Amino acid sequence: MARLQIDAVSKRFGADHAVREVSLDIADGEFLVLLGPSGCGKSTLLRMIAGLETPSSGRILVDGTDVTDEAPQRRDLAMVFQSYALYPHLTVAKNIGFPLRARRQPRARIAARVSEVAATLELSALLERRPAALSGGQRQRVALARAMVRDPGAFLMDEPLSNLDAKLRSATRAELIALHQRLGATFLYVTHDQVEAMTMATRIALLDAGRIEQVGTPEELYDRPRTAFVAGFLGSPPMNLFPAEVNWRDGSLRVQADGIDAALAITAESGAGTRVLAGIRPERLRIDATATAVRGRVTMVENLGSEELVHVTAGSVRLCVRAARPAGVQVGEDIGLRLDPGDIHLFDPDSGLRLTWQEPQDDTAGEEAAAVSDVA
Ligand SMILES: Nc1ncnc2c1ncn2[C@@H]1O[C@H](COP(=O)(O)OP(=O)(O)O)[C@@H](O)[C@H]1O
Ligand SMILES: [Mg+2]
């Protein structure tokens, strides 16, 4: 069991900043996913926690103890890599038992522990095979078993599913969730795959260019993205984002762009005449012949089997609508789109920060409040 604290950790490679002042407090037993595009610094951050890379500045604590300068084997952590890194000449049993042999544990104890862990991961029948005679999914489980054998306080995993095909990936996701519940250990899991993050994480830390954009539950990031980057990164297809203006008309605030004029759930007069970046998720736009909020023309309809993606151009704004199939519209048709005022997200077009006029100012981050007063 382990709590992991990352305190203002940075990593430079020459002049390049791979990780910039990242702070994270990961509670014992959490399943925290580090999510972000390729090259954003996820692996570098994980490797610093594992002790495979030294931070340029900042501290790493495991259960309150500063381990920043400790060797990897002296941190109570186990790492699982994308490549599995199994020893090809050793059997599955020897691969799994390797960390215990390296620590000179008694033979009988190693055998007992290997068979216990192998049973947990359904590897008992494969113990005498070598890695070459295993499928990708089985190799991945051996790598996990080898990490589990020491009973570490935390598991650090770097894209462990990315070499598996889609079907096996989804099965293994479910297995990892079950394993996490069974072990009750801390999982720190790196991926660029938003589906893995949304389905497995108790919390997600979304990184971009070495910086944390937002930390929160999957629901918080999806429903209340702190920045336009988060809004655009989560969701498939992604949130529609377009430049707009907030204006006062007929006693209410409206978000307006060429082809769009929709009421906002805002009562305050602040913000009128303000440039914004407006966002609306494809599944929140509803096709409605009588709707006036958005008037546009259908440019393409994509059939996904269970649903359809309808591409609409409203003035100069291009929108994607996700609708049940059949959506019942034709390319070239002029249609209306309806939306709930509460489904419109507003961001500062310069800083990208969420604007929260319409929301209660509860635990809202300081930057948000500052961003509002910037433009108000
Ligand atoms: N050993 C290294 N030397 C120089 N640059 C590196 C090294 N490792 C990573 N980088 C750079 O740091 C950045 C972050 O890399 P990485 O942590 O691997 O990203 P991710 O895992 O999110 O794809 C990238 O720009 C990468 O090129
Ligand atoms: Mg990586």
pLDDT greater at residue 168 or residue 336 = 336
- Section 250-270 average pLDDT: 80
Most confident of 161-165, 254-258, 368-372: 254-258
Q: Which residues have CB under 8 Å from 44's CB, separation 6+?
A: 11, 18, 19, 53
171 alpha carbon – ligand 2 mean position (Å) = 22
pLDDT (0 to 100) of residue 359: 58
Q: Is it the case that residue 36 has pLDDT exceeding 70? A: yes
Q: Where are the domains of the chain?
A: 4-231, 232-375
pLDDT (0 to 100) of residue 271: 54
158 alpha carbon – ligand 2 mean position (Å) = 7
Residue 253's pLDDT band, with cuts at 50, 70 and 90, is confident
Q: Is it the case that residue 272 has pLDDT exceeding 70? A: no
Ligand 1 pocket check: which of 12, 13, 45 to mutate, most ligand atoms within 8 Å of Cβ?
13
Q: Is it the case that residue 360 has pLDDT exceeding 80? A: no
pLDDT (0 to 100) of residue 132: 93
Q: Is it the case that residue 216 has pLDDT exceeding 70? A: yes
Residue 259, SS3?
coil
For the chain, where are the alpha helices, taking DSSP H only? 42-50, 92-102, 107-120, 136-148, 166-183, 194-200, 218-223, 228-233, 366-375
- Section 271-286 average pLDDT: 90
CA distance 118 to 277: 52
Q: Is it the case that residue 349 has pLDDT exceeding 70? A: yes
DSSP 171-205: HHHHHHHHHHHHH--EEEEEES-HHHHHHH-SEEE
Q: Is it the case that residue 365 has pLDDT exceeding 70? A: no
Tens digits of residue pLDDT in 155-194 = 999 998 888 888 888 888 988 999 899 889 999 999 999 9
Q: Domain 4-231: give its CATH architecture.
A: 3-Layer(aba) Sandwich (3.40)
- Section 228-255 average pLDDT: 91
Third-level CATH fold of 232-375: OB fold (Dihydrolipoamide Acetyltransferase, E2P) (2.40.50)
| Mean pLDDT of all residues belonging to the chain | 90
- Considering only CA atoms, which residue is closest to atom 27 of ligand 1? 39
196 alpha carbon – ligand 2 mean position (Å) = 15
pLDDT (0 to 100) of residue 369: 37
pLDDT (0 to 100) of residue 373: 34
- Considering only CA atoms, which residue is closest to atom 5 of ligand 1? 13
- Angle (deg, nearest 10), helices 136-148 and 107-120: 130
Nearest atom in ligand 1 to the alpha carbon of residue 11 is 12
Q: Any idea which of 67-81, 309-323, 357-371 has the lowest mean pLDDT?
A: 357-371
Q: Is it the case that residue 114 has pLDDT exceeding 60? A: yes
Q: Which residues have CB under 8 Å from 101's CB, separation 6+?
A: 94, 110
Q: Is it the case that residue 82 has pLDDT exceeding 80? A: no
Burial (Cβ within 10 Å: 0-12, 13-18, ≥19) of residue 343 = middle
